[in-house]
Amino acid sequence: MLNHEERLDLVFRALGDRTRRALVERLVRGPASVSELAAPLTMSLAAVVQHLQVLETAGIVRSEKVGRVRTCRITPEALRAGEAWLGQRRTSWESRLDRLGDVLAESGPSEGSTS
């Protein structure tokens, strides 16, 4: 079991690494095998597999093995959850600024200001 906060922990932490973001960038253009994903990277294959596991436990990627090839693909829900969290905080912040603007406008543009 994995609640919403735990999921966000895993998603944001997973994305907080260039290599893993690079993997995501490759995978949004379509599925790929582990070796295809590893090819452009300078690290060992084992290291790439470990990064993929991080992405997979975060729910960002899923993979299935056919024969000896593991094919990885994006699962967009987790990315959407991260985007949604950020969007909600941004709108919350913006609406606060709006209310603040309203209060300042209410005091009148030429009436006695705060200064």
Partner DNA sequence: ACATCACTTAAGCAGTTACTTGACTATGCG
Partner DNA sequence: CGCATAGTCAAGTAACTGCTTAAGTGATGT
What is the DSSP secondary structure assignment for residue 1, as one 8-state letter?
A: -
C-beta closer to DNA: residue 65 or 99: 65
First CA to last CA across the chain, in angstroms?
A: 54
Whole-angstrom Cα distance, residue 35 to residue 72?
Answer: 11
Number of Cβ within a 10 Å radius of residue 52: 21
The one among 40, 93, 110, 115 contacting its own copies by CB under 8 A: 93
Is 28 one of the binding residues for DNA (CB under 7 A)?
no
Is 21 one of the binding residues for DNA (CB under 7 A)?
no
Pattern of binders to its own copies over 60-79, x per CB under 8 A?
Answer: --------------x-x--x
